Amino acid sequence: MSSVSRGSLPGVTERERAASALEAETFDLAIIGGGITGAGLAREAGLRGLSVALFESEDFASGTSSRSSKLIHGGLRYLALGDVALVRESALERKVIFRLAPHLAERRWMVLPVHSRTALLKFRAAITTYEKLGAVERDDLHQNWGEDELAREEPELDRSEWRFACAYREYLTDDARLVLANLRSAAGLGMHALNRAPVTQIAVENGRASGVTAKCRLTGREIRVRARCVVNAAGAWVEAVRRLEDASAPPLLHLSKGVHIGIPATRLPVRNLLLLNTDDRRGVFALRRDEIVFVGTTDTTYGHGADLWPRVLRADVEYLLTPLAHYFRDAKIEIEDVRTAWAGLRPLVAEPGKPPTDISRKDEILMGRGGVVTIAGGKLTGYRPMALRTLEKVAEVLGRELPQAGEGGPLPGGDFAGELPGLTHELERQHGLARPTAQRLARLYGSEAHEVVSLGSESLAPGAPVIAGEVDWAVTREAAVGVEDVLYRRTRVALFEPDARRASAGPIARRMQALLGWSDAKTSEELAHAESRLAGDLDFGSAPA
Ligand code: FAD
């Protein structure tokens, strides 16, 4: 296996130097958008020796790539659509991600509870076909659970209704951390990237895109970068970016809002990933991660344009609570039990006349008038194959073949033997950490958790599972520039730690103040912003969806 490539992303104190470096050379590739699509492309381009500049208008992964269900899908869902190639691609791809970053591809059972043996047999036929097509390995083959096993695994399920289950493998990832790992790997291969730097113009010379202008929100500096090829990987914002190249570019996307809610595991003691049927014949997941079970997702047309923070509405929450009442009758989960929530926008490639649930999740690659390559749609799961397809277009623009490259070495944090339980145990033993802290750090940072702990292992606040070293790591390696970045996309406390999300904000702000020399006024401003964001997550209002 090749060695791990790991760089750092430029933090607040390195912005000027990073901006000057960006202006100093002509890049092969300028990428607009720092979600999984842009990050995956940057790494694959780097593996092929291309020089890459990447700009993200807000924070890395602040768009859809921090709001997903966080599953590396094996592709079973594509079987129903008859898309055999996609089944194979997804099943094989999750193995690659597992090899590159075992901490970001945790093998978990997806449990489909059913009423009867007949239903179980029907599902089993489909899953067996899927496992053959996807060359699913022995360890990952499905299991059929009878009444006793189901009672042992999911004791709170209403057993008068749900007596059997098929358990098949899905892999749980951490979307935002997968983005950061790809970006840091790309940085190790020479990529230059800036967050808080929206691209405001695409330069065109002789009818061809020749670079971009980005504005650094922190310093106010305009950065002009020359590039032989420009890729628009702006997710829900691809249309706005296309119009920078061609003001008359036609609409492309159908945005669909997807909501997740988080319920403390003490209230909803789910152990695996459960697949629950809804009244409108969709499926929603209930997934355990740390102290939270998150339930999602909705799939509704979003007509307000590409918002960074689409609101979670009462109707969304009620929709997600309904199946819980069917499957966990005794738990009696109420809206007041919801302690975290997030919404994201799916940038689906529009298919006129179809509702969002029927629109394909396939990606589409378009070449603009000035040669800007736009990649739209797709899934987190397929980010590598999407990057490879995009590179074929990039090669056309560059007018040369790109060298072959393998899958590369592990992503940062991915170079450890075995799986998460082994790493968790090692962290407990070597650093005297409590099991929940060790488990959490292993998931977030993989083998790099040792370095994170060495930066400060003390808990930031009583009851807060975040350790001090995480803030330093986020600021110095992962370009976190505000408290929100650390809470939402580096430590994930805002999503997965219901008891600590508010308690952590103040200590994170004070640690950042010390690291970055913030004034008291700046620290208070940062804290107020983070607190209002945390409160906003749970302000469901009463408006209809
Ligand atoms: P984004 O992550 O949105 O990235 C685009 C970035 O471009 C943004 O960060 C934005 O700020 C930036 N940008 C915009 N304009 C500019 C500009 N002018 N200059 C610079 N930067 C700019 N997929 C799966 O495989 N598994 C799942 O379980 C799954 N669950 C999902 C659940 C939900 C609710 C949703 C909504 C999606 C889910 N998906 C899932 C799909 C997956 O999350 C998306 O396909 C993926 O995250 C899209 O990534 P992206 O990089 O294209 O977009």
Ligand 1 atom closest to the CA of 55, numbered from 1: 20
Give the residue among 157, 159, 121 at the shortest CA–CA distance from 142: 121
408 lines ligand 1 (CB under 6 A): no
Q: Which amino acid is at 201?
A: Q
Separation of CA 31 and ligand 1 centre (Å): 14
Encode pLDDT of 484-498 as tens digits: 999 999 999 999 999
Q: Would you say residue 310 has pLDDT above 60? A: yes
Give the residue among 511, 486, 389 at the shortest CA–CA distance from 61: 486
Contact call for residues 69 and 296 (beta carbons, < 8 A): yes
CA atoms of 471 and 478, how far apart (whole Å)? 10
Give the residue among 473, 1, 57, 474 at the shortest CA–CA distance from 244: 57
Ligand 1 atom closest to the CA of 346, numbered from 1: 36
How large is the average pLDDT for residues 381-387?
Answer: 96
Encode pLDDT of 499-518 as tens digits: 899 999 999 999 999 999 99
Encode pLDDT of 394-416 as tens digits: 999 999 999 999 999 999 999 99
CA atoms of 119 and 26, how far apart (whole Å)? 60
Contact call for residues 67 and 297 (beta carbons, < 8 A): no
Encode pLDDT of 243-268 as tens digits: 999 999 998 999 999 999 999 999 99
Cα distances (angstroms) measured from residue 320 to each of 231, 303, 335 = 37, 21, 10
Secondary structure string (H, E, C) spanning 274-329? EEEECCCCCEEEEEEECCEEEEECCCEECCCCCCCCCCCCHHHHHHHHHHHHHHCC
Ligand 1 atom closest to the CA of 382, numbered from 1: 25
412 lines ligand 1 (CB under 6 A): no
CA atoms of 499 and 511, how far apart (whole Å)? 20
How large is the average pLDDT for residues 464-477?
Answer: 95
Task: Supply the pTM of this predicted model.
Answer: 0.97
Name the H helices within 446-500: 449-454, 468-477, 483-484, 493-496
Contacts 24+ apart (CB under 8 A), 442-446: 442/103, 443/103, 443/106, 443/174, 443/290, 444/103, 444/174, 444/177, 444/470, 444/491, 444/492, 445/103, 445/413, 445/473, 446/101, 446/102, 446/103, 446/104, 446/412, 446/413, 446/414, 446/415, 446/416
Best mutation site among 37, 62, 64 for ligand 1 pocket (most ligand atoms within 8 Å of CB): 64
How large is the average pLDDT for residues 320-328?
Answer: 95
**Residue 31 CB-half CA count within 13 A:** 35
Per-residue pLDDT at 190: 97
Separation of CA 20 and ligand 1 centre (Å): 28
The confidence band for 356, taking pLDDT boundaries of 50, 70 and 90, is: confident
Q: Would you say residue 59 has pLDDT above 80? A: yes
Pairing of strands 106-114, 71-72: unpaired
Q: Which amino acid is at 302?
A: Y
Per-residue pLDDT at 162: 92
CA atoms of 285 and 168, how far apart (whole Å)? 14
- With a CB cutoff of 8 Å and minimum separation 6, the contacts of 21 are 192
The confidence band for 207, taking pLDDT boundaries of 50, 70 and 90, is: very high
- For the record, the structure tokens of 72 come out as 């590396």
**Across all residues in the chain, what is the average pLDDT?**
94
Q: Would you say residue 450 has pLDDT above 50? A: yes
285 lines ligand 1 (CB under 6 A): no
67 lines ligand 1 (CB under 6 A): yes
Q: Would you say residue 545 has pLDDT above 50? A: no
The confidence band for 290, taking pLDDT boundaries of 50, 70 and 90, is: confident
Separation of CA 344 and ligand 1 centre (Å): 8
Ligand 1 atom closest to the CA of 200, numbered from 1: 18
- For the record, the structure tokens of 210 come out as 């020749």
Q: Which residue has the tokens 């296996």?
A: 1
The DSSP symbol for 459 reads: B
449 lines ligand 1 (CB under 6 A): no
Contact call for residues 391 and 381 (beta carbons, < 8 A): no
- The angle formed by the CA atoms of residues 220, 226 and 227, to the nearest 5 degrees, is 125
- For the record, the structure tokens of 451 come out as 């370095």
Separation of CA 298 and ligand 1 centre (Å): 16
Radius of gyration over every alpha carbon of the chain, rounded to an integer in angstroms: 23
- For the record, the structure tokens of 350 come out as 């529009």
The confidence band for 418, taking pLDDT boundaries of 50, 70 and 90, is: confident
The confidence band for 381, taking pLDDT boundaries of 50, 70 and 90, is: very high
- With a CB cutoff of 8 Å and minimum separation 6, the contacts of 463 are 499, 500, 503
Cα distances (angstroms) measured from residue 524 to each of 444, 503, 504 = 28, 15, 14
Give the three-state DSSP class for 369.
coil
Q: Would you say residue 525 has pLDDT above 90? A: yes
Angle of helix 501-516 relative to helix 468-477, nearest 10 degrees, comes to 50
Per-residue pLDDT at 465: 85
Contact call for residues 512 and 475 (beta carbons, < 8 A): yes
Give the residue among 491, 490, 483, 480 at the shortest CA–CA distance from 510: 483
How large is the average pLDDT for residues 71-92?
Answer: 80
- For the record, the structure tokens of 132 come out as 């053959």
The confidence band for 462, taking pLDDT boundaries of 50, 70 and 90, is: confident
How large is the average pLDDT for residues 291-295?
Answer: 93
Q: Can you name the residues that pair with 81 across neighbouring β-strands?
A: none
Q: Would you say residue 1 has pLDDT above 60? A: no
Q: Would you say residue 544 has pLDDT above 70? A: no
CA atoms of 447 and 284, how far apart (whole Å)? 32
> What is the dihedral sign for C-alpha 117, 118, 119, 124?
positive
CA atoms of 307 and 236, how far apart (whole Å)? 8
